[in-house]
Amino acid sequence: MTRIGIIRHGSTPWNKEGRAQGSSDISLDQAGIVDAYKLAERLRKENWDFIYSSDLLRAKQTAEIIGGEISNIPLYLEARLREAGGGQIEGTTEEERILKWGKNWRELDLGIEGTDSVIARGLSVIEEIVSKHDNKNILIVSHGAFIKHLLKKLVPQLHMLESPKNTSLTKLIQLENGWDLELYNCTVHLR
């Protein structure tokens, strides 16, 4: 049975400021580093075979911290695990977007990557990873919107009441006819 642990990267200064990050290459802040170590300690007690991570710095740093705490686990960087591209809104807060483009800014073509594009690349990379590592336990470090879009497709019965939190862990188990949710948005390691 193949199991996937999906992790949202640790926090960044832009997370705290409410800025859209998209494909901007933002580093973890100090709290994000500390939380990634807490998650790594938790994961070290579990059985994981591989880590795949977005190549954006915040995800890569999170994955490297986890990989440093789990002995003999290979880490692979994968651009298809990147956050949904934010186009012109990257680096802006909601307030700044409203000032610049008005309350209906979401209706404008600001170069934001579409949901279908995010899901297509997400599914392609998941299928490729799972086919390479059948019956293994695989960690995937990625980003909030990417994870949200992917989970809606892989586990359509999941009703997400909140978006994935920084350093949260979501676990999926592969069944014959798709994926089943074992754990969602868990942050017990932060308590």
CATH architecture of 3-190: 3-Layer(aba) Sandwich (3.40)
Q: Is the pLDDT of residue 159 over 90?
A: no
Mark whether 9 is an active-site residue: yes
What pLDDT does residue 85 have? 96
pLDDT digits (tens, 9 = 90+) for 98-120: 999 999 999 999 999 999 999 99
What pLDDT does residue 71 have? 84
Average pLDDT value for residue range 125-150: 96
Instruction: Please tell me the pTM assigned to this model.
Output: 0.96
What pLDDT does residue 72 have? 87
pLDDT digits (tens, 9 = 90+) for 2-43: 999 999 999 999 999 999 999 999 999 999 999 999 999 999
What pLDDT does residue 13 have? 98
Average pLDDT value for residue range 162-182: 95
pLDDT digits (tens, 9 = 90+) for 43-92: 999 999 999 999 999 999 999 999 999 988 999 999 999 999 999 999 99
Of the candidates 41, 78, 83, 113, the residue annotated as catalytic is 83
Q: Is the pLDDT of residue 171 over 90?
A: yes
Long-range contacts of range 185-191, CB-CB < 8 Å, 24 or more positions apart? 185/160, 188/42, 189/35, 189/38, 189/39, 189/41, 189/42, 190/35, 190/38
Q: Would you list the domain boundaries of the chain?
A: 3-190
Mark whether 162 is an active-site residue: no
What pLDDT does residue 160 have? 85
